[in-house]
Structure 1
């Protein structure tokens, strides 16, 4: 079996972010790296959005960016200037093309199209089994979810950010290209946390995503019926659907890190790098990959990378509450945006806020609900079943 210094299993966002940073740093030039994925990544199968100050490392492949966002609900609605932040959009096809073009210039990187079946840390080496052969690696970076343990455990609730999106093109200019709709909760909630997410690319092109934060998924027709209804209410009737996308992202504080070992680390969603309270993954993963790249220069024990922070505890109480009372999501987010500066909210969600800012954010939300969740956690009585 051929041996590699590093093996990256899965070439989604986190795997490609990692290889981008590794091959951009001369420190890793002598490392032999293998990338394994069962699919060739060359389609627009994902749309990633994030907020950021100034120019970032992915700016050259942005599809669109906005200086304003819109938040809407029955309690509070406003178009908001988010400067010095910008809200940025990337389509996966451009992202894949950009990173794979970089990889092709590097002789120390090998790519194989095979299905990964198992990864096993054998102490001094990691064995990766695919549907075609076995490989050995000193370190393995995995972004494939193999275990359903996070769903089956009872300690931490699992909500899903699930959605279906339509890219539509209208015959006449109808969209405000200066503003992205971050959350519009004016759609019927039906006992859940439901909103419309809108990204206008031009005056005649936009992505409409009907999104839920809830446990159970819907039938495909239910998502699409809500998109149709939303468009009709805004008198947008002359359009064609140019593309569709759908997704489901787990929102949970389950400790994915315990599946790491000295020589294996799980990345992205598989590593628990999704922000539990929002489902956002791209920005936090990008930051963690940069930290991981630096960590590899100093330490060989991957199990010690990353520590639980204060934001994990904030997310825990928020998800606990949203799991038990899914119908109050629109009200919670409305109070958050009505009572706080948006720049402070974005900083908080980016996990960069100070303790004082944390207090200001958390005390703007209904205290009694969160105190009840805190008591249940402290008393050790929380269970997904009760």
Structure 2
């Protein structure tokens, strides 16, 4: 069996970003690295959006950014000026191409198209099995998400699930300078349902029908909702250029407790997704930076993760939406109506002070969160 210093089981966002940071740091050139994934990571299979102030390290692959955004429900429409933040979009194909162009030049990095079936931390090394071969390594980074939580789990699991169409309309119907974070004017049907619109011109946009709920829908229901939404924009004549779909786990389950000395779970498999929103890109960027710094000084992966107060905030929101899924529109509408978007962004980035936390929390329906906190405490 061939041995490597580091093996990555799965080569999605978290794995590629971590390996990229290894290369950029220049401190792992003497380490052999293997990435294992059945997919070549070349297609435009997803889109990531995130906010940040001023310029950033990913600006060369940002395809579009917005400095204002709409929040919409049946009662009001709020246009928000985001400065000093910019809301940025990166296409999956551009990210994969950029990262692979960097790591492909490294003689110490190998990529193979296989499917990992099992891995074990043994006293001698980590054993990794695929459908056709076995490998050993000193350290394993696992990003293969297991959607089944233990039956006794006290942590609710919702999905942020969606289908998105990149559409081109015959006539101008979009505001190219303003994104739509959440449009709750669509029928809720007992869930948290909204439209998410990322316009790149007056006639081109990514339009996603998104739910925060437990169960996924049939494909037709997502697509019928998108078609109806476009009709409501007075755009019956359009072309679907591309489609994407996804299901992002929203849970505060402590995946990091499954880490061993030599195996670490990363990405969604490690709880790197922001549990309350499903935002992944910026969280992964931060976590991968911390992981590289950790690797330079530590060898025991059980010491990597540290829980903070934001984990509790996310947990309370998920508790509410798990039991009363229809309350999503009420909660997010109150938050965006009563709090400045800059403060919300800072809060979701987990960079606020406790006094700032309270400003965001008190902008939401208080009774729902007080009851959720009471149930957790007692």
TM (normalized to structure 2)? 0.98
Query: What does residue 299 of structure 1 align with?
Result: 298
Query: What does residue 225 of structure 1 align with?
Result: 224
Query: What does residue 188 of structure 2 align with?
Result: 189
| 1:172 CA displacement | 2.5
Partners of 1:75 and 1:334 within 8 A in 2:
no
Q: For 1:288, what is the secondary structure of its paired residue? A: helix
The residue correspondences of 1:198-209 to structure 2 (distance < 5 A) are 198-209=197-208
| 1:123 CA displacement | 2.9
Q: For 1:28, what is the secondary structure of its paired residue? A: coil
Query: What does residue 81 of structure 1 align with?
Result: 81
The residue correspondences of 1:31-42 to structure 2 (distance < 5 A) are 31-42=31-42
Which deviations, in whole Å up to 9, do the C-alpha atoms of 1:245-280 show, x marking residues without a partner? 111111111111111111111111111111111111
Q: For 1:6, what is the secondary structure of its paired residue? A: strand
The residue correspondences of 1:266-345 to structure 2 (distance < 5 A) are 266-345=265-344
Write the distance in 1 (CA, Å) between the matches of 2:324 and 2:293: 41
Which deviations, in whole Å up to 9, do the C-alpha atoms of 1:291-316 show, x marking residues without a partner? 00011001001111021100000011
| 1:147 CA displacement | 6.1
Q: For 2:199, what is the secondary structure of its paired residue? A: strand
The residue correspondences of 1:254-265 to structure 2 (distance < 5 A) are 254-265=253-264
Write the distance in 1 (CA, Å) between the matches of 2:369 and 2:154: 17
Query: What does residue 15 of structure 1 align with?
Result: 15
Partners of 1:69 and 1:79 within 8 A in 2:
yes
User: What number of residue pairs does the alignment pair up?
Assistant: 378
Write the distance in 2 (CA, Å) between the matches of 1:255 and 1:124: 27
Write the distance in 1 (CA, Å) between the matches of 2:204 and 2:261: 47
Partners of 1:82 and 1:343 within 8 A in 2:
yes
Write the distance in 2 (CA, Å) between the matches of 1:328 and 1:315: 15
Partners of 2:197 and 2:207 within 8 A in 1:
yes
Query: What does residue 234 of structure 2 align with?
Result: 235
| 1:119 CA displacement | 1.2
Write the distance in 2 (CA, Å) between the matches of 1:310 and 1:75: 32
Matched, 1:167 2:166: yes
Query: What does residue 6 of structure 1 align with?
Result: 6
Query: What does residue 52 of structure 1 align with?
Result: 52
| 1:173 CA displacement | 2.8
Write the distance in 1 (CA, Å) between the matches of 2:50 and 2:4: 34
Runs (5+) with no aligned partner, structure 1: 380-386
Partners of 2:158 and 2:251 within 8 A in 1:
yes
Write the distance in 1 (CA, Å) between the matches of 2:347 and 2:147: 31
Query: What does residue 29 of structure 2 align with?
Result: 29
Query: What does residue 179 of structure 1 align with?
Result: 178
Write the distance in 1 (CA, Å) between the matches of 2:49 and 2:360: 23
Write the distance in 2 (CA, Å) between the matches of 1:103 and 1:219: 38
TM (normalized to structure 1)? 0.96
| 1:17 CA displacement | 0.3
| 1:175 CA displacement | 1.8
Write the distance in 2 (CA, Å) between the matches of 1:328 and 1:341: 21
Q: For 1:173, what is the secondary structure of its paired residue? A: coil
